[in-house]
């Protein structure tokens, strides 16, 4: 994507957060302008066309403003050649644990938005419904390995054939870059007013093994941009021809042995 168009898209998406205050607006600009996973979602057309997307740990809903802005620009004939058209958005549902982020989203999108709904809740407890895609960006490692397994199994059950689970994780086997990534994560968590958590990270091989055990077809790609981090994007697809209930067969298989650092 050309820099002028990227700037235009960031401007378009960030304006949504003007009613939510300076912090929300500038946070959106920084996140959408510099976090490469948002760019890749559009460039590669990673979301299926059904248009019903669930973002678990959605924050203030920056992804939703990004998708809506992309669709508006595409409809105006402003879109880079060679890029997949942005998907139509029928239902954008977000679940966020932190009430302050939910309130920022409410001020940004308004109470009667026809597509966007952001609610306060814990991804370990909420009903996922029947979306076409589920996203968890940089949040799974806050939960225990048992909670991770349970959430991933429920995601697999909720998705239809052709559905997509998109996540970004840290590769605990990446050495120094993982330790840098881990330290920055803790610092950002602290500066946003949250307690410093225990992190439940895994090696990339462990993540892929867990997801394949559930029947996903998994594609991995480094996703740190120019930062010295160990972030990896995992695009996990439910094969066509399989049903949501098929996950039960995989749950009888033995759990993988985790090789996470202590």
Q: What one-character-per-residue DSSP string does 131-146 give? A: -SEEEEES-GGGS-HH
pLDDT tens for 206-228 read: 999 999 999 999 999 987 656 54
Is the pLDDT at 23 greater than 80? The verdict is yes
What is the end-to-end Cα distance of the chain in Å, rounded?
A: 40
Q: Taking 60 as the threshold, does the pLDDT of residue 183 lie above it? A: no
> What pTM value is reported for the model?
0.86
Token pair for 66: 């990004």
Which residue(s) pair with 220 in the sheet? Answer: 234
Model confidence pLDDT, tens digit, residues 108-126: 999 889 999 999 999 999 9
The upper half-sphere exposure of residue 40, i.e. CA atoms within 13 Å in the direction of its Cβ, equals 17
Domains and CATH numbers, the chain: 138-262 (3.40.50.150)
For residues 241 and 230, give the distance between their C-alpha atoms in angstroms, rounded to a whole number.
34
CA-nearest of 11, 101, 119, 121 to 65 is 11
Give the confidence band of 8 by pLDDT, cuts at 50, 70, 90: very high
pLDDT digits (tens, 9 = 90+) for 136-175: 998 998 899 999 999 999 999 999 999 999 999 988 775 5
């Amino acid at each position: 994507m050309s820099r002028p168009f990227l700037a235009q898209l960031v401007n378009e998406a960030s304006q949504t957060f003007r009613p939510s205050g300076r912090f929300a607006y500038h946070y959106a600009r920084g996140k959408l302008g510099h976090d490469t996973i948002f760019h890749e979602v559009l460039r590669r057309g990673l979301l299926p066309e059904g248009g019903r997307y669930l973002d678990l740990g959605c924050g203030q809903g920056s992804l939703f403003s990004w998708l809506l802005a992309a669709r508006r620009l595409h409809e105006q004939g402003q879109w880079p050649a060679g890029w997949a058209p942005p998907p139509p958005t029928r239902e954008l549902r977000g679940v966020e644990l932190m009430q302050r982020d939910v309130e920022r989203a409410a001020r940004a999108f308004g109470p009667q938005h026809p597509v966007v709904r952001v609610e306060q809740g814990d991804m370990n407890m909420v009903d996922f419904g029947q979306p076409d895609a589920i996203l968890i960006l940089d949040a799974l490692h806050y939960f225990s390995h048992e909670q991770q397994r349970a959430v991933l199994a429920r995601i697999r059950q909720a998705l239809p054939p052709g559905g997509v689970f998109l996540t970004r994780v840290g590769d605990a086997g990446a050495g120094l870059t993982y330790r840098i990534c881990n330290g920055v994560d803790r610092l950002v968590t602290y500066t946003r007013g949250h307690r410093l958590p225990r992190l439940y990270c895994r090696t990339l091989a462990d993540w892929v093994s867990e997801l394949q055990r559930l029947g996903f077809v998994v594609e991995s790609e480094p996703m740190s941009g120019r930062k010295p981090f160990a972030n990896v994007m995992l695009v996990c697809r439910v094969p066509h021809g399989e049903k949501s209930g098929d996950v039960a067969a995989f749950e009888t298989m033995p759990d993988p042995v985790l090789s996470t650092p202590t």
